[in-house]
Amino acid sequence: MNLIKYAIVGIIGTTIDIGSLYLFVEYGHLPVITASVLSFLLAVINNFILNKAWTFQNKSKNYRKLFIKFLIVSVVGLGLTIFCMHLFVNIVHIWYILAKALTSLIVLSWNFLGNKFWTFYINQKHSQEIENSIYDLSIIIPAYNEENRIKNTLLSINDYLSDKKINAEILVVNDGSKDKTVELVKNYQGKIPNIRIIDLGKNYGKGAAVKQGVIESKGKMILFTDADNSTPIEELDKLQKRLIENNAQIAIGSRYIKDDSVKIKQPKYRIFLGRAGNILIRIFLIDGIRDTQCGFKLFTSNAAKNIFQFQKVKRFGFDMEALVIASQLGYKIVEVPVSWFNSAESRVRPIKDALITLKDLVYIKLNIWSGRYND
């Protein structure tokens, strides 16, 4: 079907190319080579617009990267046009209209291959659905030295899943813990159904832990939540409801949509740093989301696996990166107010982690500009 569409676009482009060439030479009195370049550029603009929107239906918003690729293909095509026209007209002495027709066939062949397999190439990982899901839900818990907090979280999640009769797996991703986190979780493997430990071997960061959990998950839906149960597992009901109602692929918990969402508040300086950081995120990365950092997010399996394959940030900034990638890939995100209880044992280092997050923000912005989330 793409070939037929491309042929139709090619016919339109060739008509524009040859027609404008004739007008430029016969009525504009331009040299043949100059006229060929101008007519070629007009045809290229037409072909780019129609092929992006219709033939290949590429919905990427990364116009900068598409333009660079398109420009490279076009420059090579332009070089072929000049070379072939010179060869056919000045050396072989073919009538310039026939020469242009032959040149167009050569250049159109190049443009088709270059645009189909490079410029407008759609990564098939984006479009294929995740099959053979064993569970209805995968719950990912990144854990680093959580022996004092994860027990109650696991028991709460197990009670919730049992009450709701949800066929789910619990993936505890050990991010290089040095305490008895792994030993504690192993003790519950015979008591809590489908609980599994994924061991990273050493501390890479929360983002790396969540990514590995997503890679190994086998559920139709994927939730990641914090080991301290800051957002109670019961709030999952709200996310699932909004996800379905809005036909979305991602539902994220938010502490800042409703004033009463936060039951136990953070110190004021942490609230200030968090809100200031969110303003920067909304200005430079992704607007319309009030809380990118709440550690309670629900994805369809297809969306999660497509998003996290591109994830680069390994530590706290991974949340905002995941949402940026989701936006780049065209997924619909809904923000849902959830209850949240600040943990007194939180290991967030306000100043140091704020600076790291700021560095991640710049890094993510550079990745957007360079198109690293669209390869």
- What percent of the chain lies above the pLDDT cut of 70? 80
Mean pLDDT of all residues in the chain?
A: 82
Going by C-alpha positions, the residue among 345, 198, 171, 323 that lies closest to residue 250 is: 323
Report for 6-20, 123-137, 199-213: range of highest mean pLDDT: 199-213
Residue 102 and residue 116 in one domain: yes
- Are residue 144 and residue 231 in the same domain, yes or no? yes
Task: Compute the average pLDDT of residues 99-119.
Answer: 85
For the chain, percent of residues with pLDDT exceeding 90: 43
Residue 96 lies in a domain: yes
Q: Are residues 54 and 136 in the same domain?
A: no
Is 147 part of any domain? yes
User: Are 153 and 89 contained in the same domain?
Assistant: no
- Last-in-domain residue among 122, 151, 173: 122
| Nearest alpha carbon to residue 105 among 20, 41, 17 | 17
Is it the case that residue 273 has pLDDT exceeding 90?
Answer: no
* Residue 343: per-residue pLDDT: 56
Residue 134 lies in a domain: yes
User: Does the residue 294 lie in any domain?
Assistant: yes
Q: What is the pLDDT of residue 129?
A: 45
Which amino acid makes up residue 50?
L
Say what the pLDDT of residue 139 is: 97
The amino acid sitting at 148 is N
Residue 278 has pLDDT above 50, yes or no: yes
Query: In this structure, is residue 328 part of a structural domain?
Result: yes
Give the pLDDT score at 62. Answer: 60
Supply the range of the domain harboring residue 345: 128-370
Which of 122, 148, 179 represents a domain boundary (last residue)? 122
Read off the pLDDT of residues 303-357 as tens digits, 9 standing for 90 and up: 999 999 888 888 878 888 888 888 878 889 999 988 877 655 555 555 566 667 7
Co-location of 277 and 354 in the same domain: yes
Confidence (pLDDT) at 182? 93
Note whether residue 40 is domain-resident. yes
Residue entry with tokens 């073919």: 94
Of the two residues 330 and 169, the one the predictor is more confident about is: 169
136 in the same domain as 100 = no
Structure tokens, 135: 């569970």
**pLDDT for residue 247 is more than 50:** yes
Kindly report whether the global pTM for this prediction surpasses the value 0.75. no
Is 341 found in the same domain as 200?
yes
78 and 185 fall within a common domain: no
Q: What local confidence, expressed as pLDDT, does residue 140 receive?
A: 97
**What are the C-alpha distances in Å from 334 to residues 242, 248, 292?**
7, 7, 11
- 103 and 209, same domain (yes or no): no
CA nearest neighbour of 112 among 227, 251, 13: 13
Helix intervals (H) in the chain: 2-26, 32-50, 63-85, 96-114, 124-127, 150-164, 181-187, 206-216, 236-245, 268-284, 301-308, 318-328, 350-370
**What amino acid occupies position 5?**
K
- Please tell me the distance from the alpha carbon of residue 186 to that of residue 180, in angstroms, as a whole number: 10
- On whether the CB atoms of residues 44 and 104 are closer than 8 A, the answer is no
Please determine, for residue 37, whether its predicted confidence score (pLDDT) is greater than 90: no
Map tokens 């994924």 to a residue.
198
The Cα–Cα gap between 82 and 229 comes to 66
Q: What's the CATH number where 315 sits?
A: 3.90.550.10
Task: Please state the rounded mean pLDDT for residues 239-260.
Answer: 85
Q: Is the pLDDT of residue 72 over 50?
A: yes
Q: Please count the structural domains in the chain.
A: 2
Query: CB–CB of 297/252 below 8 Å?
Result: yes
Q: Higher model confidence: residue 63 or residue 54?
A: 54
Whether residue 200 is predicted with pLDDT greater than 90 in this model: the reply is yes
- The number of C-alpha atoms within 13 Å of 369 and in the hemisphere containing its C-beta is 7
219 and 189 within one domain: yes
Assess whether pLDDT exceeds 90 at residue 267.
no
pLDDT band of residue 78 (cuts 50, 70, 90) is confident
Residue 265: predicted pLDDT: 52
Do residue 178 and residue 238 come from a single domain?
yes
Complete edge-to-edge strand list for the sheet that includes strand 219-225: 195-199, 168-174, 135-143, 219-225, 296-300, 250-254, 333-337
Let me know if residue 290 belongs to a domain.
yes
- Whether the pLDDT of residue 258 is over 90: the answer is no
Only one residue has tokens 């501390």, namely 203
Confidence of residue 288 (pLDDT cuts 50, 70, 90): low
Answer whether residue 375 is part of any domain.
no
111 and 139 both lie in a single domain: no
Min mean pLDDT across 144-153, 211-220, 268-277, 337-346 is at 268-277
Q: Which residue has the higher pLDDT, 57 or 119?
A: 119
Last residue of a domain, one of 61, 91, 122: 122
Mean pLDDT throughout 5-17? 85
